[in-house]
């Protein structure tokens, strides 16, 4: 019995499906993650370009859009254990160029920009309440890194009972092995996987 058969035998890998009111969540596509000397590398830049197209479709179909940024206080007063594991994160302050959303995805009026200090977009933020207020039932996730803040956000999204879709070509990681492994694991337990093209077609269909 191979590994996939084990998951199937135990009942994992089912579809949670696509609801009626999706929102696009763009996780940590900020300047520091486009630079391999800071936090970038791998397929992150390609995922940003894919997300650029999907963001245009989400805006055209008037779906809610939220972005996350990692933002710490200038004096480091809110830096915790996450910064012990990755000390460079503490440099991502409000005005730091590395912490700004990349130009290709610049938020527009009415889109929610979340400041966070932990991996998940939901932890210690108002994201869940904002999604509920928008009557959202499905969270479409792009961003980086697949194995880090994307995964943490996906698990919390599912935990809040949102149907959760990971956009496979809209998420990226600095190394491909954790990227692929985490896509597999999230599909088995927490989310559905769809390409950006498939998601764009679905949200366009819903808007008609």
User: Which member of 149, 150, 165, 194 is catalytic?
Assistant: 149
CA neighbours within 13 Å on the CB side: how many for 30? 26
Q: How far are the Cα atoms of 30, 35, 87, 120, 194 from residue 76, in angstroms, in the given order?
A: 19, 23, 11, 19, 38
Is 149 an active-site residue? yes
- Judged on CB neighbours under 10 Å (0-12, 13-18, 19+), 149 is buried
Helix or strand run (H / E) with residue 40: none
3-state secondary structure of 163: strand
In the block, which residue shows the tokens 């594991």?
Answer: 85
Catalytic residues: 149
């Amino acid at each position: 019995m191979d590994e996939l058969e084990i998951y199937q035998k135990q009942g994992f890998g089912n579809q949670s499906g696509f609801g009626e009111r999706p929102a696009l969540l763009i996780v940590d596509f900020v300047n520091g993650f486009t630079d391999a000397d800071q936090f970038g590398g791998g397929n992150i830049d390609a995922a940003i370009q894919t997300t650029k197209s999907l963001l245009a479709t989400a805006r055209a179909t008037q779906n809610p859009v939220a972005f996350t940024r990692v933002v710490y206080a200038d004096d480091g007063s809110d830096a915790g254990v996450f910064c012990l594991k990755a000390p460079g994160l503490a440099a991502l302050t409000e005005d730091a160029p590395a912490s700004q959303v990349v130009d290709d995805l610049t938020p527009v009026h009415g889109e929610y920009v979340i400041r966070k200090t932990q991996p998940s977009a939901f932890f210690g933020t108002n994201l869940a309440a904002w999604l509920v207020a928008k009557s959202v039932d499905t969270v479409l996730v792009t961003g980086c890194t697949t194995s880090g803040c994307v995964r943490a956000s996906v698990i919390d999204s599912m935990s809040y009972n949102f149907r959760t879709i990971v956009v496979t070509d809209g998420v990226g990681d600095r190394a491909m092995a954790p990227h692929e492994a985490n896509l597999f694991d999230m599909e088995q337990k927490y989310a559905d996987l769809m390409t950006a093209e498939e998601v764009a077609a679905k949200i366009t269909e819903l808007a008609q």
